[in-house]
Amino acid sequence: MNALNIKQGATSHSAYNLRSTYGDENERHTLAIIVENQPGVLARVIGLFSGRGYNIESLTVSEIDHESHTSRITVATTGTPQVIDQIKAQLGRIVPVKDVHDLTVEGPSVERELALFKVAGTGDKRVEALRLADIFRANAVDSTLESFVFELTGTSEKIDAFAELMRPLGLVEMARTGVAALSRGQD
């Protein structure tokens, strides 16, 4: 450091600009990974994340083409831009991986998640749970005298908000599918 407290190479006027072009903040990204549907492929993809200490917030997998035996793995993860780039590069090197798309940076996309909520309560709490379910457009898929099971589809934020409102009304249990996502438009 010099008298001006400027790190060497930290100014854009330096011929040796050493400043990172990436941010240091964690970002959430949704990755769509097209793979050959073979035994062990999911384990290899997940092993890449766990072996390097990357977090998976959401994971969904399903076969998308029976004839070509192709599956789609949708992973929601967080990390710095450098970490996300590293994840994409390393995923691309796995042999059964056909394609990796970062839906977060490739343009507009649609993300949805399905959740089931078991809410137990009587009296006013039961009425309030039904009223909130109607506002959120949740379907009551099961009902007893003491509880409901609601089905809700939407963004992760919508599901989180519904869960927070149901907690004081008697939320007993919740199951979530994870994010399913597709890019918008013709591509």
Per-residue pLDDT reduced to its tens digit, 137-151: 999 999 999 999 999
Across 30-43, average pLDDT: 93
- Specify whether the CB–CB gap between 75 and 30 falls below 8 A: yes
87-120 as b/e: b if 16+ CB within 10 A: bbebbeeeebbeebbebbeeeebebebbbbbbbb
* Range scoring the smallest mean pLDDT among 3-17, 29-43, 168-182: 3-17
What is the pLDDT averaged over residues 12-18?
A: 54
pLDDT for the residue 65: 92
27 bridge partner residues? 79
pLDDT digits (tens, 9 = 90+) for 101-139: 999 999 899 999 999 999 999 899 999 999 999 999 999
Higher local confidence (pLDDT), 68 or 16: 68
Instruction: Say whether 28 sits in a helix, a strand or coil.
Output: strand
Cα distance between residue 9 and residue 147, in whole Å: 64
Beta bridge partners of 97: 35
SS3 49: helix
Would you say how long the chain is, in residues? 187
Nearest of 125, 109, 106, 115 to residue 167 by alpha carbon: 125
- 65-69 average pLDDT score: 92
Share of the chain above pLDDT 70, in %: 87
Nearest to 184, CA basis, from 107, 92, 90: 107
pLDDT at 22 (0 to 100): 57
State the chain's maximal CA–CA distance in angstroms: 75
**Assigned token pair, 12:** 């854009």
The residue type at 171: L
